[in-house]
Amino acid sequence: MKKIIGLFSLFAFLFVVVNAQEAVKKTLPQEPAEATKKTLTQEATKPVAQPQKAVKTQQFKADVTGQVISLTKLAMGADPVVTKAEADEMVRKNQPLALKAADQIYLVYNTKNAFDGRSLAKFAGVQNLGIAGEIRYINGFAVIFAKQMQPVE
């Protein structure tokens, strides 16, 4: 008896599902297959437009400009400005680099909220490194979330 009721319930459920699908099909507009084929062939014969090269109209505007320094050397009282070779070695040893702009020292993070010593090391030795990004003060430290870095004249 339970098997009969179970089978009856299954058939009733399938009947409802099939009827619901048919109702949805009836409410959706349907185009003839020929019209669709004509549209596709007409679009396929149109020439593809070549993308135009974007013209660089925006100048780089740095929010902060300064030099790459070693926080370790700064804490020891030595000259904190580093060369590219020194910076590469410091990054390899996981020693922190920062940007010194006038009297302010900025920790540099990338847009993924991770410390960005590798990018700073690429620009070590540059007199004026410009960084565009958002500046925040976190626990008393100036932090710039860099979007773009490049040497500035």
**What does the angle CA 135 – CA 137 – CA 143 come to, to the nearest 5 degrees?**
50
| Residues 99-144: tens digit of each pLDDT | 999 889 999 999 888 999 999 999 999 999 999 999 999 999 999 9
What's this model's pTM, rounded to 2 decimal places? 0.60
> Has residue 39 been placed in a domain?
no
Closest CA to 82 of 40, 123, 47: 123
Structure-block tokens of residue 136: 């925040």
Q: How many domains does the chain have?
A: 1
Which range of residues forms the domain containing residue 73?
Answer: 64-151
Answer yes or no: is 58 within a domain: no
Q: How far apart are CA 78 and CA 100, in angstroms?
A: 14
